């Protein structure tokens, strides 16, 4: 499933194409994705100009001149592309946005777990998918103090806490695992250990907040320059391989936590 860096890479790909362009027609090639499209979905967007394209957690939000906002999620297999004239298309091309510039933006989703919804911009923050989300990990609002406050008193493991979207918005399994390795923290340790009982950050909270920002920045840079490659990960999907931390003699282990695979070094992650 695409995680925050992949979604941000899509946003950066689409922004110069969509923002400032008028939507002349929206072509729906089926009545639904994960859920049915809203009533008059295509008609409500026709003639509107995209004013901004932002990302909230793993969601894309296109603000339109009509006063509506288009909320989009890629699901497990969704992707956007801007086809060339020679592009023959695909059976899983389910939505096509025709723009005033002559460009088309195509949404392809073989498994149809993605979704699109249209809501009033004034109420977009109260959309069921966006309400209650924690701070954006790459924003100034996310730091050691914010992370400590969210984890204070939590009896769950640190890895599971990081996947709670109310703790940090958009962080997924792969990059939580990678950030914990950079910070030298075990995914198995209790989340509350990075904060005092009163929610004051311990030194570990600072390391972890910085590691989360680092791993996401690096991943976004990779996504905008080259496709996904698992060999770029430090620990993810590297069970039984040597730890990549310099001079660490550890071997990476795999463990299931809340139904997701955690990869970590038992020597340098404590």
Q: What is the pLDDT of residues 158-198, one digit of tens each?
A: 999 999 999 999 999 999 999 999 999 999 999 999 999 99
CA dist 238 → 36, 50, 150, 174, 270 (Å): 39, 42, 30, 12, 18
- Where a domain ends, among 70, 99, 126? 126
Kindly state whether residues 185 and 237 are assigned to the same domain.
yes
CA dist 235 → 57, 132, 141, 146 (Å): 23, 30, 28, 26
Is 31 assigned a catalytic role? no
Is 58 assigned a catalytic role? yes
Q: Which of 2, 135, 137, 187 is catalytic?
A: 2
**What is the pTM for the complete model shown?**
0.92
The pLDDT assigned to 107 comes to 98
Q: Which of 11, 55, 56, 58 is catalytic?
A: 58
Range of the domain at 190: 144-264
Kindly state whether residues 62 and 156 are assigned to the same domain.
no
**Beta pairing, strands 260-264 & 115-120:** unpaired
Is 218 assigned a catalytic role? no
Number of domains in the chain: 2
Q: Which of 245, 254, 255, 260 is catalytic?
A: 260
- Where a domain ends, among 126, 157, 186? 126
pLDDT tens digits, one per residue of 53-99? 999 999 999 999 999 999 999 999 999 999 988 888 999 999 999 99
């Amino acid at each position: 499933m695409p995680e925050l860096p992949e979604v941000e890479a899509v946003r950066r790909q689409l922004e110069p194409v969509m923002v400032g362009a008028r939507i002349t027609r929206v072509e729906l090639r089926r009545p639904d994705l994960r859920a049915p499209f809203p009533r008059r979905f295509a008609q409500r967007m026709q003639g509107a100009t995209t004013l901004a394209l932002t990302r909230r957690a793993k969601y894309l939000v296109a603000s339109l001149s009509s006063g509506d906002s288009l909320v989009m999620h890629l699901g497990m297999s969704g992707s956007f592309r801007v086809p060339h004239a020679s592009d023959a298309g695909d059976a899983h091309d389910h939505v096509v946005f025709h723009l005033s510039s002559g460009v088309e933006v195509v949404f392809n989703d073989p498994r149809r777990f993605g979704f699109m919804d249209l809501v009033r911009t004034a109420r977009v923050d109260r959309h069921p998918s966006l309400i209650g989300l924690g701070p954006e990990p790459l924003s100034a609002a996310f730091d050691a103090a914010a992370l400590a406050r969210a984890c204070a008193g939590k009896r769950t493991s640190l890895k599971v806490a990081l996947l709670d979207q109310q703790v940090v918005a958009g962080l997924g399994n792969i990059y939580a695992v990678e950030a914990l390795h950079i910070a030298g923290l075990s995914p198995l340790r209790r989340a509350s250990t990075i904060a005092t009982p009163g929610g004051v950050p311990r030194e570990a909270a600072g390391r972890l907040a910085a590691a989360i920002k680092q791993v996401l920045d690096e991943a976004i840079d990779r996504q905008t320059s080259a496709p996904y490659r698992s060999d770029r990960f430090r620990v993810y999907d590297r069970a039984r391989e040597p730890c990549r931390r310099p001079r660490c003699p550890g071997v990476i282990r795999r463990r299931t936590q809340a139904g997701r695979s955690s990869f970590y070094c038992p020597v340098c992650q404590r």
